[in-house]
């Protein structure tokens, strides 16, 4: 094409520009995958109940009928109801992870590279709950491995802990595209899994990181600035666990002056653990 603009290249460039505007910031393969294509997969693949669960009291059937294949998209209210049903069938952390792996009710899964479930020691007394995986976490499949994760590791080190002595997860199990804020629907759909996560993990102390985790787990509309640094009790599923909210490490990277509050909050966490007889 002497002197003219190659229409194929121009169209490819326009498509790339559109993807970047939509929040794409990573190339993960040579061949495009249409994650929105309709495929015949079960909407809610709950793990099979284990033998001892199956016998005397059969589980009630789901409150609402699940749409049948081939549609994989659930209306959001149904997605949260389906999530609750499925989460309740999980008896162990690996079962919960497997259930999330096959859960099709959260649209974030379509754009994420992979599930980001948890990192650290499943039997650690301390459970940290962040917001959502970012780019690095999406690539590695582990929470808090990017810049904010490195800061979190330093905060943990300040109280003599590392990931062998803490358990880390998020409110969302898939990366929101372009790291945008999760929607209310996405958070509501993942919340039953988070609550089941806590019930199965049974930590001695919970720390929420950032606004979204604090509001959702404490079920309040108060913001993080008011909530942080105070002890509450997480009372659900027969549990009563001391819980404290603090700023998100990513917020500290933007506003380092708040580091002193987080340091203070984690010293309080260490004191709480010690008062509960937990050694470093």
**Positions that interact with ligand URA (CB under 6 A):** 130-134, 137, 143-144, 146, 148-149, 170, 250
In the complex, minimum distance from the CB of residue 81 to ligand URA, in angstroms, rounded to a whole number: 26
In the complex, minimum distance from the CB of residue 130 to ligand URA, in angstroms, rounded to a whole number: 3
Q: Which is nearer to ligand URA, 43 or 151 (CB)?
A: 151
The CA distance from 136 to 140, in Å, is 6
Place of tokens 């690539």: 139
Q: Which is nearer to ligand URA, 81 or 206 (CB)?
A: 206
Dihedral sign from CA coordinates of 231, 235, 236, 238: positive
How distant, in Å, are the alpha carbons of 29, 56, 118, 181, 250 from that of 145?
Answer: 21, 44, 11, 19, 12
Question: Which residue in the shown chain puts its C-beta closest to ligand URA?
Answer: 130
Q: Which is nearer to ligand URA, 81 or 213 (CB)?
A: 213
Q: Give all strands of the β-sheet with 118-120 in edge-to-edge order.
A: 118-120, 167-170, 126-130, 205-209, 241-246, 231-234
In the complex, minimum distance from the CB of residue 261 to ligand URA, in angstroms, rounded to a whole number: 17
In the complex, minimum distance from the CB of residue 43 to ligand URA, in angstroms, rounded to a whole number: 27
How distant, in Å, are the alpha carbons of 141, 179, 182, 196 from that of 113?
Answer: 8, 13, 16, 24
- Residues 64 and 76 sit within 8 Å (Cβ to Cβ): no
Q: Which is nearer to ligand URA, 134 or 203 (CB)?
A: 134
In the complex, minimum distance from the CB of residue 239 to ligand URA, in angstroms, rounded to a whole number: 23
Q: Which is nearer to ligand URA, 77 or 122 (CB)?
A: 122
């Amino acid at each position: 094409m002497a002197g003219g603009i190659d229409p194929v290249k121009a169209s490819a460039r326009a498509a790339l520009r559109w993807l970047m505007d939509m929040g794409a910031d990573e190339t993960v393969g040579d061949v495009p995958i249409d994650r929105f294509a309709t495929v015949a997969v079960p909407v809610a693949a709950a793990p099979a109940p284990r033998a001892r669960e199956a016998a005397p009291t059969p589980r009630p059937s789901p409150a609402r009928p699940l749409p049948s294949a081939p549609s994989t998209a659930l209306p959001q209210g149904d997605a949260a109801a389906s999530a609750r049903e499925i989460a309740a069938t999980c008896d162990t952390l690996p079962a919960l992870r497997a259930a999330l792996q096959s859960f099709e009710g959260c649209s974030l899964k379509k754009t994420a590279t992979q599930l980001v479930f948890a990192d650290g020691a499943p039997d650690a007394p301390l459970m940290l709950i962040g917001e959502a995986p970012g780019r690095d976490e999406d690539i590695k499949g582990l929470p808090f491995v990017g810049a904010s994760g490195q800061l979190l590791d330093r905060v943990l080190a300040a109280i003599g802990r590392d990931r062998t002595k803490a358990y880390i997860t998020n409110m969302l199990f898939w990366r929101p595209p372009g790291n945008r804020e999760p929607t209310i629907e996405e958070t509501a759909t993942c919340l039953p899994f988070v609550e089941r996560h806590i019930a199965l993990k049974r930590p001695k102390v919970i720390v929420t990181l950032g606004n979204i985790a604090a509001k959702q787990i404490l079920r309040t509309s108060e913001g993080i600035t008011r909530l942080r640094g105070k002890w509450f009790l997480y009372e659900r599923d027969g549990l009563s666990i001391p819980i404290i909210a603090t700023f998100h490490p990513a917020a500290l990277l933007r506003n380092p002056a708040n580091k002193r509050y987080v340091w203070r909050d984690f010293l309080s966490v260490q004191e709480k653990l010690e008062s509960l007889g937990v050694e470093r």
